[in-house]
Amino acid sequence: MEMDGDGDMDSLFEGMVLFNPISEHPSHSPSHSDSHSQSESESHSLFTDLTILSPSPSESPSPSLSESKSCNQIQNNHNNNNHKKKKRPALRIGYARNASAVAFDDNPPISDDHQHLPSSNEPPCSSVDVDFDFRLLQIKNQISEKLEFVRQLAASVSADRKEAIANRRKAAQTLHRASNAYAELETRLDEACRSEDFETAETLSESLAAAESEKQSLVAALADAEARCDEVELRMKEVLASQIAAEEECASLLHQFAQDTSEKAELGINTAEQVSSKKLEEWQCSTESLELKKMELEIESNIVNEARTMLTSSIENSVEDDQREKESLCEKKSVLLDELQELLALVKQKEQEIAETDSNIKAVENRIAHVVSGFQEMHSNIDSKFGNLQSCISDIELESKSLCELKKEIDDFVVNEQEKERKLRELGNSSKKEAEAYHQVVELRKNLMTFVLKSKEDKDRLAKTEKKLSDEVQMLHQEVSSSRSSLQELSTRKSSIQQDIASSKQKIIFIDKRVPELEVEKKVAATARNFREAARIAAEAKSLTVEKNGIETEMERGLLELEKLEKEINDTVEKLEETEVVISSKEKELAMARFERLVLTAGYAEAERAVALEFGDAEEAKLLLAEKEVAESEAKDLEPIYNFKVEELPNIPKHFISMELIANLGKKQLEELAASIGISPKE
């Protein structure tokens, strides 16, 4: 029987040591007593003081991952570690009489760190997301306020600009009328002078002086209006620069917000990874510990179950002979009863034998009951231990479920953090895109403003050049007028000197003719002894000779002065001719500058007219159209005189843009406008 038991236990209880609790001694009881004592001692040696030797920490086996895998797959590095752990030595389980029993903790400790994890039912957006949403809303409100302020400022400056342009247009028209009236007065004055109507000429001269004074005041008023327009244009430029600065600040705020959200998302996901890694390590340790305990309990449960099975088998083996003997006696009793029926004659003998057989049956039953009662307490202890083990296994199953829930919470925590990161990155990306859009708008406005300012600078430069050349031409005309006046004076002096010389020549001729006559008269008087008359005649002749000498001296001086005047006249005429050539050149330059400025003026008037039409200001568009037509008409008047061509002008842009339009257009319209003139935003 021991051989059979050991054979059955070779695979399950390899390494198990059986200790015999009592020393061997010879038995003097009958065969059935020997069988009973042998079974009792064998069962006692098998199951008394059942003890589990727990392995040392260095020899702990790897837990089974069947249930943990049913919850969640462990990471690859954990699987590799578990694979390595499987090669460690197995548990050493055996029986020892004096070893203390292992106390099973019905509630093994499990890490409570997972209580600090966020619940899986929490929404993905936490207070951090709400803070970032609120901050983004604040930034957008701030951007809207800044841009709205700039738009209102641009609208105010635009209204002032429109008013200043209207005042300038009015002043220019008034000056134009005054100039026409002044030119008409000059024409009438010339006609009055030619017709020698000096009274009318005097009246017209007074009116011309008043018109000149009025014209100068109107020129000053036009200059003030031009200065006001320049001031408003400068304000519009400053407003556009402020708008660009505000949009740059908006782009900077959105870039900073995108960077902050990116950093926050990166920090959040890193923190979540660290926390989840730590929690997974703790969960792995708890799972390994729990699986180890579970495996130990399962092994112990298997051992106890096998022991209980073996105990039952041992009990059955121990009473097997008695059962067979009982069955044999029962059969014998049955035979005897049959024989009793058949052999009534032998009743007394058979009754005695039956009584003896009953006595033997009772004795065998007593022995069976004694053997069973001997194993009953041990069987109860084993059942109790098995029940406790099953209860521990159930508790471990519950703890395993708790660990599965913990793993699920960790996974949910990681998913929530990833969702937060995704939302933050979405906010950051959207803010970055908006910032890039603002940046592109800023670059477009800058490029377009540079384009417009270059044309405006060309126009201002041409206006200054025109004024400078006009002043120079006026000065040259004044020089010509002065030279002509000087030439006229020189001519008058020359004529006077020539007349004086001619008069002197006549006097000399007279003296030359008179002196011989006086000499004859003197001789006649002397011959007639009229000495007083002769003396008078001699004095007169001498006086004429002296006068002749003086006249000759004066004539020589007049000839020298005449020669000098002729030289001055020639120099003045030469200078006058040179000045007229310079005037012609300057007038051509002036006409070129004026022609180019008029072309620019017509182009910008058309651009301003397009803006006015787009904004629904038909009256302003009509005035701008008239201004454009006037500029084009003046340019066409100059074109045939000097053979100018618009295509040959180097600084005339192909497209004209209003600065007000740049300030009011959106991104798409700015892109279309920039593309139409070949401008793209800088990357």
Write the DSSP assignment of 345-404 as a string of letters: GGHHHHHHHHHHHHHHHHHHHHHHHHHHHHHHHHHHHHHHHHHHHHHHHHHHHHHHHHHH
What would the pLDDT profile of 224-257 be if each residue is shown by its tens digit?
Answer: 888 888 888 888 888 888 888 888 888 888 888 8
Domain boundaries, the chain: 132-269+429-677, 270-333+371-428
Q: Which pLDDT belongs to residue 88?
A: 42
3-state secondary structure 112-125: CHHHHCCCCCCCCC
How many CB atoms are located within 10 Å of the residue 618 CB? 10
Q: What percent of the chain has pLDDT over 70?
A: 79
* Band of pLDDT at residue 396, cut at 50, 70 and 90: confident
R_g of the chain computed on alpha carbons: 68
What would the pLDDT profile of 136-156 be if each residue is shown by its tens digit?
Answer: 888 888 888 888 888 888 888
Backbone angles phi, psi at 112, to 5 degrees: -100, 15
- Asked whether the predicted pLDDT for residue 631 surpasses 80, the reply is yes
The candidate with the shortest Cα–Cα distance to 238, out of 663, 611, 608, 605, is: 663
Q: Are 421 and 269 within 8 A, CB to CB?
A: yes
Q: Which pLDDT belongs to residue 681?
A: 55
- Asked whether the predicted pLDDT for residue 78 surpasses 60, the reply is no
Q: Which pLDDT belongs to residue 110?
A: 41
- Asked whether the predicted pLDDT for residue 127 surpasses 60, the reply is no
State mean pLDDT over 43-65: 41
3-state secondary structure 589-615: HHHHHHHHHHHHHHHHHHHHHHHHHHC
10 Å CB burial of residue 393 (0-12, 13-18, 19+) is: middle
Give the residue, 120 or 659, on which the prediction is more confident.
Answer: 659
Q: Which pLDDT belongs to residue 617?
A: 81
From residue 639, give the alpha-carbon distance in Å to each of 445, 582, 633, 652, 669: 35, 21, 10, 15, 36
Q: Are 147 and 646 within 8 A, CB to CB?
A: no
As a whole number of angstroms, the distance between CA 246 and CA 241 comes to 8
- Asked whether the predicted pLDDT for residue 559 surpasses 50, the reply is yes
- Asked whether the predicted pLDDT for residue 374 surpasses 80, the reply is no
Helix pair 31-47, 198-318: axis angle to 10 deg: 160
Name the amino acid, one letter, at 13: F
Name the amino acid, one letter, at 449: M
* Band of pLDDT at residue 40, cut at 50, 70 and 90: very low
Q: Which pLDDT belongs to residue 343?
A: 67
Q: Which pLDDT belongs to residue 434?
A: 83
Q: Evaluate the CA torsion angle 533, 535, 538, 544 in order and state its sign.
A: negative
Phi and psi based region of residue 643 (left: phi greater than 0; alpha: psi -120 to 50; beta: remaining): left
- Asked whether the predicted pLDDT for residue 107 surpasses 60, the reply is no
Least confident of 49-63, 188-202, 334-348: 49-63
State mean pLDDT over 77-93: 43
State mean pLDDT over 426-434: 83
As a whole number of angstroms, the distance between CA 301 and CA 305 comes to 6
From residue 478, give the alpha-carbon distance in Å to each of 472, 483, 485, 486, 591: 10, 8, 10, 12, 19
Nearby residues of 494 by Cβ (< 8 Å), 6 or more positions away: 562, 565, 566, 569
Least confident of 107-121, 339-353, 409-423: 107-121
State mean pLDDT over 554-570: 89
Nearby residues of 533 by Cβ (< 8 Å), 6 or more positions away: 521, 525
Q: Which pLDDT belongs to residue 106?
A: 44
Least confident of 14-23, 199-208, 508-517: 14-23
- Asked whether the predicted pLDDT for residue 108 surpasses 50, the reply is no
Q: Which pLDDT belongs to residue 680?
A: 63
Q: Which helix (H) or strand (E) holds 197?
A: none
Q: What percent of the chain has pLDDT over 90?
A: 2
Tell me the DSSP string of 53-88: -PPPGGGPPPPP-HHHHHH-PPPHHHHHHHHHHTTS
Q: Which pLDDT belongs to residue 160?
A: 87
* Band of pLDDT at residue 451, cut at 50, 70 and 90: confident
Q: Which pLDDT belongs to residue 49?
A: 44
State mean pLDDT over 662-680: 77
Q: Which pLDDT belongs to residue 75?
A: 43
As a whole number of angstroms, the distance between CA 340 and CA 334 comes to 9
Name the amino acid, one letter, at 510: F
What would the pLDDT profile of 203-222 be if each residue is shown by its tens digit?
Answer: 888 888 888 888 888 888 88
pTM of the predicted model as reported, rounded to 2 decimal places: 0.52
């069976």: which residue's tokens?
A: 368
* Band of pLDDT at residue 278, cut at 50, 70 and 90: confident
Average pLDDT, the chain: 75
Q: Count the residues in the chain.
A: 683
State mean pLDDT over 443-454: 82
